[in-house]
Structure 1
Amino acid sequence: MYLSFEKQGETLVASLSGELDHNSAEEVRVKIDNKIDIDNIKKVVLNFSGVTFMDSSGIGAVVGRYKKLCNKGGNLCIAEANKNVDRIFELAGLYKVINKYNTVDEAVRCI
């Protein structure tokens, strides 16, 4: 799993690439949490355009970051999830609490 960060105004865009599974979820959790804490971030867009596979550990990583930001009065959203990842989010019921956007730019504008 490759993870890169870009700050757009007050919003952190975290771009994920590769497989978000039990092998990489902990690393993703730690890196995103560190960035949120160090830069006092309250808005995060998770760019899933490069994610090829995700399992329940990935869902846990996303939900954990969402809860962390909600506790700080912030928000998290998903952008550019491919068809397979989008289906996983849909089946897990995450879109009932986490907004999804077609593009990162749209997510940054709306979050």
Structure 2
Amino acid sequence: MGGVGLQTSIEMINNNLVVALDGELDHHTAKEVREEIDKAINRENAKNIVFDFKKVRFMDSSGIGVVIGRFKKIKEYGGQAGVINLNDRVHKIFKMSGLLNIIKYYETKEEALENL
């Protein structure tokens, strides 16, 4: 799923929505991926969300907005958000934007699922 520049893979593990992103999370892809994740949160009654950035090659401020918005949405339901597999470039964006102050970074998917 997702646009030409970004593919998404969404799976539900217990009450956790795991969103694997592949490509570029930018202003061209943000709206579609935001809507796709929101539908999955509502459809699956997800409590927590884990973003897997392993295959994200680029992210801009629109991507930050997608992550923050989904964090706020899941928090309204009493849930938490986590991220895994940040490459150096995306990790720098998360750190500079302050995202790592509100969303926990985990080394592995298993660690995230155990701690959310």
Give TM class, smaller chain. Answer: over 0.9
* Aligned residue identity for 1:90: K
Aligned to 1:75: 80
Query: Pairwise mapping of residues 38-57 of structure 1 onto structure 2 (< 5 A)?
Result: 38-57=43-62
In structure 1, runs of 5+ residues without a counterpart are none
Normalised TM-score (structure 2): 0.93
* Aligned residue identity for 1:93: G
Query: Take 1:39 and 1:6, find their aligned partners in 2: how far apart are those partners?
Result: 10
* Aligned residue identity for 1:57: S
- Residue 18 of structure 2 aligns to a residue whose secondary structure is strand
Percent identity, please: 43
Aligned to 2:3: none
Alignment deviations for residues 20-48 of structure 1 (CA, whole Å, 9 cap, x no partner) = 00000111100000000011111110001
Are 2:91 and 1:89 aligned? no
Aligned to 1:107: 112
Query: Take 1:47 and 1:93, find their aligned partners in 2: how far apart are those partners?
Result: 18
Query: Take 2:76 and 2:98, find their aligned partners in 1: how far apart are those partners?
Result: 20
Moved over 4 A (4+): none
Asked if the contact 2:50/2:82 (under 8 Å) is kept, the reply is yes
Task: Return 6-15 or 56-65, whichever deviates more.
Answer: 6-15
Deviation at 1:5, TM superposition (A): 1.0
In structure 2, runs of 5+ residues without a counterpart are 1-5
